[in-house]
């Protein structure tokens, strides 16, 4: 077995073990107020972080791709207009794709 295969298999096992670990935490831990509030708020923090990182970062550098920013602007506008989920996604991707097709991205 090559080192690369070992790295692939250890990564797969480690990633799966982490997913399973979260699901198997005993309920009594989450019955306590602080762990419960933490678990409830974690997705908000992580998804907000993912949103801005995937919008503004490429690798370790922060930069604003104009088409991507415009796409996110369209998503915010759609959300403020209370558009359904799918319309938000289509507005975002469609805006970015259209600007790039026009050579503006």
Partner 1 sequence: MADQAGLAPVTAPARPVRDGLALGIAVGTSGLAFGAAAVSSGLTAAQACVLSLLAFTGASQFALAGAVAAGGSLAAGTASAILLGSRNALYGLRLAGLLEARGAGRLLAALGVIDEVAAVTLAQPDGTSARAGFRATFVSIYLTWNLATVVGALGAGRLGSPQDLGLDVVGPAAFLALIWPRLRAGWTERGVGVLGAAIALAATPLCPPGVPVILAASAALAGALAAGPAGLDVPAGGSP
64 binds partner 1 (CB under 8 A): no
82 binds partner 1 (CB under 8 A): yes
Site for partner 1 in 24-43 (CB under 8 A): 24-25, 27, 30-31, 33-43
**How is 30-82 classified by DSSP, letter by letter?**
HHSHHHHHHHHHHHHHHHHHHHHHHHHEETTEE---HHHHHHHHHHHHHHHTT
47 binds partner 1 (CB under 8 A): yes
54 binds partner 1 (CB under 8 A): yes
6 binds partner 1 (CB under 8 A): yes
């Amino acid at each position: 077995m090559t080192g690369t295969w070992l790295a692939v298999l250890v990564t797969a096992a480690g990633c799966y073990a982490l997913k399973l670990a979260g699901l198997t935490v005993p309920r009594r831990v989450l019955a306590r107020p602080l762990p419960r509030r933490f678990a409830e708020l974690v997705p908000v923090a992580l998804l907000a972080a993912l949103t801005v990182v995937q919008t503004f970062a490429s690798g370790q550098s922060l930069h604003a791709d104009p088409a991507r920013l415009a796409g996110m602007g369209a998503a915010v506008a759609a959300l403020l207009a209370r558009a359904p989920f799918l319309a938000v996604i289509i507005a975002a991707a469609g805006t970015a794709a259209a600007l790039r097709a026009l050579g503006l991205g």
